[in-house]
Amino acid sequence: MLTGSGRRRGRVVAWVASATALLLCCAGTVVYTFFSAQPSQPGINLIGCGTTNAINVEADLPKVGNLNDEQRLNAAIIIKVGQEKKIPPRGWVIAIATAMQESTLHNYGHLGDRNDHDSLGLFQQRPSAGWGTPDQVQDPSYAAGRFYGKLKTIDGWETMPLTVAAQRVQVSAFPNAYAKWEPLATDVVNTLADGAARSVVGGNAGTCANAGEISASGWTAPVKEGIVSGFRTAERPDHHGVDLGSPRGTTIHAASAGVVSVVTCNASTPGGAPYSCDVDGSPSIMGCGWYVEITHAAGVVTRYCHMQVQPSVFVGQNVTAGQPIGISGTSGNSSGPHLHFEVHLNNDTNNTGAVDPGVFMQQRGAPLEG
């Protein structure tokens, strides 16, 4: 009971660090555990929302994750081509995540028996499928240009889940594999392009996303209202999320694309008897009331508590960033209408798995106001 508010070729493997993620309830009870890969790197520079200057691929590029010099250079070339073609930063994130999955950002030539047909280069483009000559698809600038050219033909690509957009371009045998690279691709773009992944979707680098807008990293605030109670404050050290002051009936949005993993009512009396989530709760009632959990790329899990009525999504449903999932209320352990919002990382069965949603969302260009 809750008590509070590697694509197809074997060589594409070596440098991926594994991680796990879980979601804890407001008082620290373990709820659900997932396995994932490649956690988001900490310590993202929060200055700016992207340079409008062309990236200098000949400069000393800053370190990011465990990428080597070759990988960082190839990522910088992908960003540079995107800038030249006036592709907004969301496209840079998609392109880099795709190249990470296809080649781990290595410009591979033909590898004999290990090759998948005639796939070559950063994006494993096939000359026989019309992507260009072998020499062309092994030119990182040409390959990135062809990727962006195909991406631009896809209606609505900017707000699609990264996996969907990448698959529409690549037509891979493993379409879901791209998602795990989104956090690292976001960090690469932020590090090499001065925070461009925090720019608003549809805008150019330099324009920061505001609350309620989807950022180039694919995240958005679940409601526009700001924080009224913070993460693990002195007054509430067991408050493993933040409270957003949304009035009753406010539409709650998925913070990022993902899969709905939990939809349930969680409420009980102090004595442990079940309590309805279809009526207002109170501080004496236990649990999160009507709530939803969504699993995102790299095993990040978000939780949305105290909804007024049964959520409008179902377990197993794929949702996009900004998609409505329910309305705010005051069910369960709640003293008034608001949204309790949590973010959790890592395979941690204790409260150490929780992270401050305010910091997490700021790093992804989706600030929680207040």
pLDDT confidence of 345, banded at 50, 70, 90? confident
Closest CA to 59 of 50, 69, 47, 67: 69
My answer on whether 322 and 236 are in the same domain is: yes
Q: How far apart are CA 190 and CA 200, in angstroms?
A: 13
Q: What is the mean pLDDT of residues 43-71?
A: 81
My answer on whether 186 and 288 are in the same domain is: no
pLDDT in tens, 214-227: 999 999 999 999 99
My answer on whether 272 and 146 are in the same domain is: no
My answer on whether 151 and 25 are in the same domain is: no
Mean pLDDT of the chain: 84
My answer on whether 250 and 353 are in the same domain is: yes
Residues 212, 321 contacting (CB under 8 angstroms): no
The model scores a pTM over 0.95: no
Q: Which domain holds residue 244?
A: 18-39+222-363
pLDDT confidence of 346, banded at 50, 70, 90? low
My answer on whether 172 and 95 are in the same domain is: yes
Q: Output the pLDDT for position 306.
A: 98
My answer on whether 117 and 238 are in the same domain is: no
Whether residue 270 is contained in a domain is answered as: yes
Q: Output the pLDDT for position 115.
A: 58
pLDDT in tens, 270-320: 999 999 999 999 999 999 999 999 998 888 899 999 999 999 999 999 999
Q: How far apart are CA 22 and CA 34, in angstroms?
A: 6
Q: What is the mean pLDDT of residues 327-338?
A: 97
Whether residue 153 is contained in a domain is answered as: yes
Q: How far apart are CA 282 and CA 325, in angstroms?
A: 23
Whether residue 244 is contained in a domain is answered as: yes
My answer on whether 239 and 192 are in the same domain is: no
Q: What is the CATH number of the domain that holds 313?
A: 2.70.70.10
Q: What is the mean pLDDT of residues 23-35?
A: 30
Whether residue 207 is contained in a domain is answered as: no
Q: What is the number of domains present in the chain?
A: 2
Tell me: pLDDT of 337 over 70.
Answer: yes
pLDDT in tens, 147-161: 999 999 999 999 888
Orientation of helix 182-192 relative to helix 89-103, angle to 10°: 120
pLDDT confidence of 113, banded at 50, 70, 90? low
Tell me: pLDDT of 33 over 90.
Answer: no
Q: State the CB neighbour count (10 A cutoff) for residue 135.
A: 11
Closest CA to 112 of 7, 9, 6: 9
